[in-house]
Copies of this chain bind each other. A is one copy, B any other.
Amino acid sequence: MIKVALDAMGGDLGITASIHGLDYYLSKSANLKVFFNIFGNKKQIEDSISKCKNISSDIYEIFETGDKKINSNDKPSVAIRKGKGSSMFDAISHVANEKSNVVVSSGNTGAYMALSKMLLGTIEEIERPALVCVMPNIKGKSVMLDLGANVDCSSSKLIQFALMGQAVARVLLKINNPSVGLLNIGTERSKGTNALEEAFDFLSGSDINFIGFIEGVDITKGTADVIVTDGFSGNISLKTMEGTIRYLTSLAQAELKSSILGKIGYLFGRNIVKSIKNAIDPRNHNGAPLVGLQKIAVKSHGNSDHIGFSNAISAAVNLAESDFVNNIKEAISIIGIDKSNENNNKKR
């Protein structure tokens, strides 16, 4: 049986997203082999569960952490020093102590990363875990990392991301020999930074299916199965994409409703507009694993609602069922990572 530790208090919506997200997950999933260890304010959680239809009393246990929580603007160092007893800290500890198989939280990303690294430990060859997401593109799906966990961008980090991304694409996208592209501002080797050039040279000489530098436009083209970038650019890119999707759908809806022809068109096309929105809805791709840890931690978007949170739970269950960490370890050990340490201290 998979046991999921839920941080019920994280994210902008807290319990509204987490408990109703659990309810929504259970309404969609017939997976009876999952048990939930829920961390947070017991009274509020019980109140919330009493309004839900699908959360039966035999599939969960509540662990009281009162109102102690890590705030969205707390620095990672503060979370490490003062986080003990908070819903996030205790949920991660539950996995560290092997009482749960996977943890899910919508809380402060930097704190979640720091606490997961401290409590769960990283795989030997990995300096710091990375945040990975699955995204849709014209051809299908790809994985992209890092998405904000590592703002620096040394060549060794980029090489580690490439190895981890390749392993994630194998596990989550079931692609045997995924292609890996390095995000840059041009495709010629001379473009970009020293760290990118070094990573380019290392990956070109490795066994990885490396297709070279790719640009921002390639992300949605599906040029590569794995898109590797530093956490700063990755985060900006992902959120730019979210913003552009929102902008275009609001533009389309406003335009379609602004004239009679448009209204008629909308009547006939609305289900299609809905299906497109559905395909690209960030909530449907919510649940990004922190990769490189000795156990599994899944990050749910800070502003996700119950639908987004339910998808994060679903991703967590799938990862726990797939023997994710051993797969990542194996993928890394096959390719080897030690050479990357030559370039350890280079920055962009």
Interface residue ranges, A against B (CB under 8 Å):
72-73, 75, 109-110, 137-138, 148, 151-153, 183, 185-186, 188-193, 215-221, 229, 231-233, 235-248, 250-252, 255-256, 258-259, 261-262, 264-273, 275-276, 279-280, 347-348
Contacts and interface: CB of A to CB of B under 8 A. Distances in A.
- A interface, over-half SS: helix
Nearest to A303: B217
Contacts of A265: 265-270, 272
Contact of A218 (B185, B217, B238, B243): B243
Contact of A231 (B185, B221, B252, B271): B185
A278 B197 CA distance: 37
Contacts of A219: 240, 243-244
Q: How many copies does the complex hold?
A: 2
Given A193-B232, A216-B238, A272 B259 contact: yes
Which 10 A-B pairs rank lowest in CB-CB distance, beginning with the nearest? A216-B239, A265-B269, A265-B268, A220-B247, A217-B243, A216-B240, A73-B188, A185-B235, A244-B244, A220-B243
Contacts of A243: 216-221
5 contacts: A219-B240, A264-B268, A265-B267, A265-B270, A268-B268
Given A151-B185, A265-B270, 5 more contacts: A151-B192, A216-B243, A236-B237, A241-B241, A262-B268
Nearest to A76: B190
Contacts of A247: 137-138, 220-221
Contact of A348 (B152, B192, B220, B229): B152
A94 to B, nearest CB: 27
B348 A232 contact: yes
A161 B58 CA distance: 58
